[in-house]
Structure 1
Amino acid sequence: MFPIRDHNPSGRTPYVVYALMAANILIFVSYVGIMDNARVLQQFYFDYAIIPARSAEGLAPETFVTSMFLHGGWMHLAGNMLFLWVFGDNLEDEMGHLPFLLFYLVAGIGAGLIHVITAPDSVVPTIGASGAIAGVMGGYLLLFPKARVDILLILIVYFRVFTIPAFVMLGVWLGLQFFGSLSSNPDEGGVAYWAHTGGFVVGLIVCIPLWLKRGGPAYWDHTHGHPPHPETKYKLSQSRIPRVPRR
């Protein structure tokens, strides 16, 4: 299940979202050539990735930031940039450019800290913007719970675009991350589920002051849970005309 767009594009150009996407892509391109050299790649990750056992001792604190701009492959990068592009623009519009950048960094660092707390003995390098982007998703859920999001659902050979409220898509995503957190072993590598879950919660909590400043529940009443911009009608949106099966 992949989000492909929301129905309320930002009211102004999301320069920070574009800059973060460009930074992640350019940094990945800068080292993708060493991906097939295990020794060089291991040293690269040692220098710039979060290694929980090292971070738990207070070493290499800068990796909480540098790790946020590293990815393990093209699909890892593409997935993260897709989520950032879909959910980041409205949040940047509501917060402002610099506050959104600070929010993104705080969410990413918070996600990294939670990952270290849950796996303090792990020596598996941890990389990716997922924790920070999970924070963006948490803030989006708080501010715009009823925003309409188009998702691409893929079930083996079945492909379909659906339009659903943001709280459904983000709630399902958070539930999957939480259950993944309970069943996974961080010492064995794989997906850093606790970083995703923690980043989401950090982002939601950090957004509470902004939500209260906008009026709290009154903000939802005013915007009906949508970003405060006119909704866009897409030509390829899900059709409401019922399909008649062939006989």
Structure 2
Amino acid sequence: MFMHGGWAHIIGNMLYLWIFGDNVEDRMGHVNYLVFYLLGGVVASLAHIYTNPASQIPTVGASGAIAGVLGAYLVLYPRSRVLTFIPLGFFMALRPVPASIVLGLWFILQLFSGVLSLGGPDVGGVAFWAHIGGFVFGAVIAFLFVRRNEPRSYSAW
């Protein structure tokens, strides 16, 4: 999780972590977030190994752990908006887009690519199933975290 395959790989990962990670950390707390992030990376790696047991390609990067952060963000902040570049002809406009759309499209792209990668053990160069496993892990843990930390209300009547 601490090595990357080049500058573009690490910059892309850190951009997603910068956009989504601080809010998830604020909600979970520093120690819980650290444990969550590291476990997300482990679960993501296990998802990749399970779906690609014969692969001889080494995997590097924090993408699986960061995918867990994305899944958690979607659950913890379902109505938030993310500034996103939108193509308008030859120009790009920066517009707020619901995070559910951005992250939903990202997840669908990972799922589609992951299914296509099942064609062989050495297809591609991206661990799509690590992304999928990390995202699902993050969403489930965030859901459980929210349920555990919801304020309880009691009626006097």
TM-score normalised by structure 1 residue count = 0.58
Which of 64, 72, 83 aligns to 1:131? It is: 64
User: Which structure 2 residues correspond to residues 159-178 of structure 1 after superposition, within 5 A?
Assistant: 159-178=92-111
Alignment correspondent of 1:74: 7
The answer as to 2:133 corresponding to 1:198 is yes
The sequence identity of aligned pairs, in percent, is 50
Alpha-carbon distance in structure 1 between the residues aligned to 2:3 and 2:43: 17
Pick from 112, 123, 127 the counterpart of residue 188 of structure 1: 123
Q: Is the 8 A contact 1:124 1:189 kept in 2?
A: no
Number of equivalenced pairs: 150
The equivalent residue for 1:212 is: 147
In 2, the alpha carbon distance for the partners of 1:159 and 1:76 equals 23
Tell me how far 1:206 sits from its aligned partner: 1.5
Aligned-pair distance for 1:186? 4.5
Aligned residue type for 1:215:
E
Q: Deviations over 1:9-53 (max 9, x none)?
A: xxxxxxxxxxxxxxxxxxxxxxxxxxxxxxxxxxxxxxxxxxxxx
CA distance in 1, matches of 2:83, 2:149: 26
Runs of 4+ with >3 A deviation: 153-158
In the alignment, the residues of structure 2 paired with residue 86 and residue 138 of structure 1 have an alpha-carbon distance, to the nearest angstrom, of 13
Which string of whole-angstrom CA distances, capped at 9 and with x for unpartnered residues, describes residues 63-86 of structure 1? xxxxx0111111111000000000
Contact 2:110–2:131 (8 Å) recurs in 1? yes
2:84 is matched with 151
- Can you give the 5+ residue segments of structure 1 that lack an aligned partner in the other structure? 1-67, 219-247
- Secondary structure at the aligned position of 1:71 is classed as coil
Structure with more of its chain in helix, by fraction: 2
Q: CA RMSD in A?
A: 1.8
The 8 Å contact of residues 146 and 167 in structure 1, kept in 2 or not, is answered as: yes
Please tell me whether the aligned partners of residues 186 and 192 of structure 1 are also in contact (alpha carbons under 8 angstroms). no
Structure 2 spans left out of the alignment, 5+ residues: none
Give 3-state SS (helix, strand or coil) of 1:69's partner: coil
